[in-house]
Amino acid sequence: MPIYLYIDRGTFVHRLHPTVKVFALFVMFWSVYWVDNPLALAPVGLVMLWIAQLTDSWPNFYRLRWLFAILVFTTTIAWMVFYRRGAVLVDVPIFHVSRLSLVFGIGRGIKLAELLAASVLFLSTTKIEEFTYGLQRMRVPYRVSFAISLSFRLVPLFIDSAVTIVDAQRLRGYDFNEGGPIERVRRYVPVVIPVFMGALRKANNMAMALEARGFGFSHEPTTFIDYPVTGADIIAFAFLIALGTLSFMLYWTGLGGIGPLK
Amino acid sequence: MFSVTPGPHAVWVEGVTFTYHGAGRPALRAVSFAQAAGEMIGVMGASGAGKSTLAKCLNRIIPEFEDGDFRGTIRIAGESLEHLRVCDVAPKVGMVFQDFESQLFSTNVAHEVAFAMEQVGMDRAEMDRRIIPALEAVGLRGFEHRDPMSLSGGEKQRLAIASVLALRPSVIVLDEPTTDLDPEGRAEVFELVARLRAQGLSLIVIEHESEELRAADRIMVLREGEIAADGPPSEVFARTDLLMGCGVRPPGLGHALKLLGIDAQAESVEDAYDAIVRAYPRLAATLVDNSADSRAPEHPTNPENASTGSAFMAIENVSFSYGDGPRVLDSIDLRVEAGDFIAIVGQNGSGKTTLAKQIVGLLQPATGRVIIEGKDRAQMRPAETAREVAYVFQNPDHQIFAATVQEEVAFGPRNFGLADDEIRRRCDEALEAVGLLSERQSDPFMLSKGERQRLAVASVLVLRPRMLILDEPTTGLDHREQLRMMALVRDLNRAGIAIVIITHTPWLVAEYARRVVLLRKGAKIFDGGVREFFMQDELLRSSSFRAPEITELGRRFGRLALTTNEFVAWVKARA
C-alpha cells in the first residue's frame, strides 16, 4: 500500500521551482486565513480544484475523502451550536440555526477543507527533497528544513505501525470501543506505548543511518537536482501574490466576512 | 599484545573496549585485529556478543552516538578515527544497517544514491558521474526514477549499498543486511557482496548464517565481547563445538563430516559428497539402489489425502484484494487439523501474512469463508477468534506495553474478564512454558529480542488457543535463541496445539514442520509433506526456495534427509 502522497507526474505544477511551491502553500494558508464567507473562499477553492485537475491529484483526495467529509460536517455542526448570532430560522434544541450561523458554520467547514486540500496538493506535487530545498531557499537552516520534511515521511510509517499494534491488541481480546469518550481515549494506552517505543527506536536507527551517510558533514550540502527558475515560476509567483492580495483585500474591505450577507 | 603495524591495512583495531553507559560489563573487551585491503571478514556470534558494537565503532557511531566508555585505537587506511565525527568517517567507511526502511530518505532511487554525496558537499557534475556506476554495481541500473518505497526488500538493501558505494569508501561494513529479507532478497545481497569482493573492496559482513560466509577470507567469532576465533572459514567452521558454544549454527555439511569422523573441509555439497565417498566407498556402490528413496519419501504426508479427522480450521475458496488492487489471495483452500505443524512459505508479497490475517479475522475475505470449529468466522468477533486461534506478530514490540512481564501476559485474560486466581494460574502456566517464569517481575523492554519473542508467545498462549500462528518467529534471533524458540513451538505442538509458522528459513521447515504450504502470487501451489516438498526441484527453484544443504547432500546419495542427525545415522547404518 503506498504510504506517501507524492504522485510522480510531469505537469507544470510538478516542475515549478520548490521555493514557489512552498510559497504557494503559504499563500493558500494566508488566503484562507483572512476570509470567513463561503463566497469569498470560492476563488481559492476554484484555484485548488483547477490545480487538482491539472495535476491529477484526485486519487489522494479520494483516499482522504472521509477525513474531508468528517471535517466539514463536524465543523459546520459545531459552529451551528456555538455561533449564536442572527434570527433563528428553525427552532431546534441546542442548535442555533440562523442564516448567520449556517453561513459561518459552512464557511468554517470549507476553510478547514481548503487548508487540508492545500496540504494534499502540496504533498501530491512536491518531493521531500524539494520541500527541504524550498525551505532552505527561504533561509530556514538545513537541519531544520530536513527535519520538517523528514517528519512527513515518518508520520505515515508511525500510522502504519499503530494499525498493526491495534490489530495485535484486538487479537488479545482488547475492545477499544468500551466506555465513554474519556475511557475510550484512555484505552489507547496499549497502543500509544508500543508506538512511542517503536518511534524512539526508529528515530534512533534513522539518526544513526543519517550520520553514517554524512549528514552534518557540511552546513551547506550541495543539491543533486538543479532547480532553474523559469518563466512559469515568475508567472506563478505573480499569480500567487495577486491571490494573496485579493484575499487580504476581501478582508480589508469587509467583503470576506459574513456581515454583508445579513 | 596485538603487534601489527597499521600502515597497509584497510582497518586496524587495537585494544578496543567499550562499555555501554550503565552496563555491568564491557560489550567489547580488548578487541584487536587488522584487515588487509581487499579482504572480506565475516563476523559471527550470539546476540549480545558485540558484533554490532564492533561495527558501530568502525564508523564512530560508538562513541559519538552511544553513551559509554570507549578505549582503544581504530585506524582506517592508516588514519586514526580519534576526534572524528560520524559524518567525517562516512567517506571512509560505508555502513549498511539491518533495518533498510530506516536508511532510505529520498523519493527516487537516483536521489537516494546522491544523498550522501550531497551531504559531503560534492559538486553536481561529480555526483552525476558516480550515480550510474554505483547503481550498475548493485544491479539497479534503470531504476533511477523509481520510488525506493516501491522496491522489494532485496532491492532496497542493494540501494542502501549503492548509496554508500557512491562515496567510494575504502571499507564497507554490512550489519546483518539480510535479516529481514526473503530467500530471493538474501541471494541478491550475497551475490552483490561477492561482486564487490571481486572488485577488491574491503568488506566486513556481520551475519548469522554460516553458509553465507563461506566465501569470506576470514571468519571472526565473537563471544561476550572478545574474539573467540579468527581464521579462514575452513578452519573456523571445522570447530563446530566452539561455534555452537558461541551460539553460532555450524554449516550443516561440516557438522555432518565431523559427526561421521571425517577429517575434511567442505565448501560445497560436492566437496562433502566426495569426502564421504572417499571415507565410505561402499556408499557410492549402492547409489543406484538408493535413488528410489528420493522419488518415494518414507512417510508421504499429503495431508489432504491422509486426513482422518474433521478440520479444526478450514479455509474455503478464499480470495482477497486490498482495495481496488490486484488479488493478494486467489481461491485458497486449506484445512488445519488438531496437532498439525504447518510451514507456510513463499516469496515476500505472496500472501502469507494476508492469509494468516484472514484466519484470525483481521481481514475479511472478498469471496469464500473461514470455518473455525464448525463456525463461520465471519460471525465471530476477533476477540472470540483469539480464544481459538492465536497469532504472534513478527515483531514482538508491536504488542508489549506493560510495566512487568506478568502484567503483559495477564492483559489478554483480563480482557476476557477471568477471575484473578485463574489469571495468575494461567500466567504461571504460560510463563513456565516459555521459560520466563523467573522474569515475571522484569521490565519487558529490558528483555532480549529472543525473550521478548517468547513473551509474545506467552501473551497469547495464556488464552489457551487450539491453534497458534507464528509470523517469522525466528527473525533477528541468534542460533541459540532460534533453537529455544523452536523447541518451545515443538513442545506446544506435542501438547496438541496446531502450529502454523510463516517462515523463509529452509532448515526450520525441514527440521520442525510436517507439512508445507507454498504460496505464489496469492495462489496455493503446493500443500503436502515436507519430504515431498523438498523433492520438487522445479517448484523450489521457481519459488526461490532452497532445500537445506544437508538435504541436497542426502539427495546426492539418493536419500532425502531433513536433518544432519538423520543423514549421519543413515550413512552410518549403510556404511
B407-to-A62, A117, B102, B497 alpha-carbon distances in Å = 42, 44, 31, 24
Amino acid B291: pLDDT: 44
C-alpha cell at position B242: 566452539
Q: Is B397's CB within 8 Å of A6's CB?
A: no
Q: Is A206's CB within 8 Å of B91's CB?
A: no
Q: Is B119's CB within 8 Å of A127's CB?
A: no
Q: Is A4's CB within 8 Å of B123's CB?
A: no
Amino acid B309: pLDDT: 57
A177 touches chain B (CB under 8 A): no
Along the 575 residues of chain B, how does pLDDT read in single tens digits?
Answer: 344 444 568 999 999 999 999 888 999 999 999 999 999 999 999 988 999 999 999 999 999 988 899 999 999 999 999 989 999 999 999 999 888 778 888 888 999 999 999 999 999 999 999 999 999 988 889 999 888 888 877 888 889 999 999 999 999 999 988 887 777 788 888 988 988 888 889 999 999 888 889 889 999 999 999 999 999 998 999 888 899 999 998 888 888 998 999 988 788 899 999 999 999 887 776 654 444 444 444 444 444 444 445 789 999 999 999 887 889 999 999 999 999 999 999 988 889 999 999 999 999 999 999 999 999 999 987 778 888 999 999 888 888 889 999 999 999 999 988 999 999 999 999 999 888 999 999 999 888 888 898 999 999 999 999 999 999 888 888 888 889 889 999 999 999 999 999 998 999 999 999 999 999 999 999 999 999 999 998 999 888 888 999 999 999 888 899 999 999 999 988 87
Instruction: Render the burial of B324-335: b for 16+ CB within 10 Å, e for the rest.
Output: eeeebbbebebb
Q: Tell me which residue in B99, B383, B411 faces A175 most closely, judged by beta carbons.
A: B383
Query: What fold is seen in the domain B303-549?
Result: Rossmann fold (3.40.50)
What count of other Cβ atoms lies within 10 Å of the Cβ of residue B371?
Answer: 16
Decide if B365 contacts B417 (C-beta within 8 A). Answer: no
Q: Describe the crossing of helices A18-34 and A99-125 by its angle, rounded to 10 degrees.
A: 170
Amino acid B443: pLDDT: 92
pLDDT tens digits along B180-220? 777 778 888 898 898 888 888 999 999 988 888 988 999 99
Cα maximum dimension of chain A: 67
Phi, psi at residue B498, to the nearest 5°?
A: -70, 135
3-state secondary structure B59-72: CCHHHHCCCEEEEE
Q: Is B115's CB within 8 Å of A216's CB?
A: no
Which among A198, A172, A189 has a CA at the least distance from the CA of B430? A172
Q: Tell me which residue in A164, A174, A206 faces B398 most closely, judged by beta carbons.
A: A164
B103, closest residue in chain A (CA to CA): A209
Taking the CA of residue B238 and the nearest CA in chain A, the distance in Å comes to 36
Q: Is B415's CB within 8 Å of A208's CB?
A: no
pLDDT tens digits along B339-393? 999 999 998 888 999 999 999 999 999 999 999 999 999 998 777 888 899 999 9
Phi, psi at residue B90, to the nearest 5°?
A: -50, -40
Which among B217, B220, B271 has a CA at the least distance from the CA of B242? B220
Amino acid B285: pLDDT: 63
Residue spans of the domains in chain B: they are 9-245, 251-297+550-575, 303-549
B294 touches chain A (CB under 8 A): no
Q: What angle do CA B363, B367, B368 make, to 5 degrees?
A: 90
What count of other Cβ atoms lies within 10 Å of the Cβ of residue A243?
Answer: 18
Distance CA A124, CA B147 (A): 14
Taking the CA of residue A128 and the nearest CA in chain B, the distance in Å comes to 7
Decide if B192 contacts B115 (C-beta within 8 A). Answer: no
- N-to-C CA span, chain B: 48
Q: Is B111's CB within 8 Å of A224's CB?
A: yes
β-strand pairing of B498-502 with B341-345: parallel
Q: Dihedral sign for Cα B538, B541, B546, B552, please.
A: positive
What amino acid occupies position A167?
D
Ramachandran bin of B75, using left for φ above 0, alpha for ψ from -120 to 50, beta for the remaining angles: beta
Residues of A in contact with B106 (CB under 8 A): 127-129
What amino acid occupies position B190?
F
pTM of the entire predicted model: 0.82
What amino acid occupies position A240?
L
B446 touches chain A (CB under 8 A): no
Amino acid B1: pLDDT: 38
A3 touches chain B (CB under 8 A): yes
A193 touches chain B (CB under 8 A): yes
Q: Which of B98, B100, B118, B171 is best to mutate for the A interface (most A CBs within 10 A)?
A: B118
Residues of B in contact with A174 (CB under 8 A): 383, 411, 415
Distance CA A200, CA A198 (A): 5
Distance CA A65, CA A211 (A): 39
Q: Tell me which residue in A150, A153, A171 faces B391 most closely, judged by beta carbons.
A: A171
Q: Is A172's CB within 8 Å of B121's CB?
A: no
Q: Is B415's CB within 8 Å of A174's CB?
A: yes
Amino acid B543: pLDDT: 85
Q: Which of B102, B164, B173, B392 is best to mutate for the A interface (most A CBs within 10 A)?
A: B102
A-contacting residues of B 236-265, CB under 8 Å? none
The SS3 assignment for A36 reads coil
Within 13 Å, how many C-alpha atoms sit on residue A174's CB side? 23
Residues of A in contact with B127 (CB under 8 A): 222, 224
Distance CA B237, CA B220 (A): 10
Q: Which of B126, B398, B460 is best to mutate for the A interface (most A CBs within 10 A)?
A: B398
Amino acid B105: pLDDT: 85
Q: What does chain A come to in residues?
A: 262
Helix, strand, coil fractions of chain A, as percent rounded to 5: 70, 0, 25
**B222 beta partners:** B45, B227
Query: What fold is seen in the domain B9-245?
Result: Rossmann fold (3.40.50)
Q: Which of A131, A170, A172, A178 is best to mutate for the B interface (most B CBs within 10 A)?
A: A172
Q: Is B412's CB within 8 Å of A173's CB?
A: yes
Q: Which of A166, A176, A208, A226 is best to mutate for the B interface (most B CBs within 10 A)?
A: A208
Residues of B in contact with A210 (CB under 8 A): 105
Distance CA B372, CA B466 (A): 10
Q: What angle do CA A135, A139, A143 make, to 5 degrees?
A: 65
Residues of chain A short of pLDDT 70, as ranges, are 1-4, 259-262
Distance CA B130, CA B114 (A): 9
What is the Cα A187 distance to its own chain's centre? Answer: 28
Taking the CA of residue A210 and the nearest CA in chain B, the distance in Å comes to 7
Distance CA B474, CA B480 (A): 10
A207 touches chain B (CB under 8 A): yes
pLDDT tens digits along B255-312? 899 899 998 878 889 999 999 999 988 777 665 444 444 444 444 444 444 444 578 9
Distance CA A93, CA B313 (A): 53
